[in-house]
Amino acid sequence: MSELNGLAKKLKALGHPLRLRIIRLLVEEGRAMYLNEIANKLEINRALAKIHLKKLETAGIVKSQVVLIEEETRALRYYKLQSFDIHVSPELLKEGGEE
């Protein structure tokens, strides 16, 4: 994926207020959080949270990890904020326009 495509993917992921709320929650908590926990804290349903978390994960903004809980015989998916930056420059835009 080109640098310009990566930038576009991140900007698109950041372009929704609910996704920004998810990021803020993960920053405030400072830890990985389970899907239901995120949904409950933001007062949204689990399916909606999952859709938005998937978009953030695809853009490289969050990372998920499945944790097996043996005593309960189930797996939980946790999401953690990844370090990311947004870099836009005339050079990047010029180079991206020539692809």
Residue 4 has pLDDT above 50, yes or no: yes
Q: Given pLDDT bands bounded at 50, 70 and 90, which one contains residue 99?
A: very low
CATH number of the structural domain 3-97: 1.10.10.10
Residue 79 has pLDDT above 80, yes or no: yes
Q: Between the CA of residue 16 and those of 3, 23, 89, 92, what are the distances in Å? A: 21, 11, 23, 24
Q: Which residues on neighbouring strands pair with residue 77, listed in sequence order?
A: 66
pLDDT tens-digit profile of 33-75?
A: 999 999 999 999 999 999 999 999 999 999 999 998 888 788 8
pTM of this prediction? 0.84
For 6-64, give the DSSP string. HHHHHHHHHTSHHHHHHHHHHHHHTS-EEHHHHHHHHT--HHHHHHHHHHHHHTTSEEE
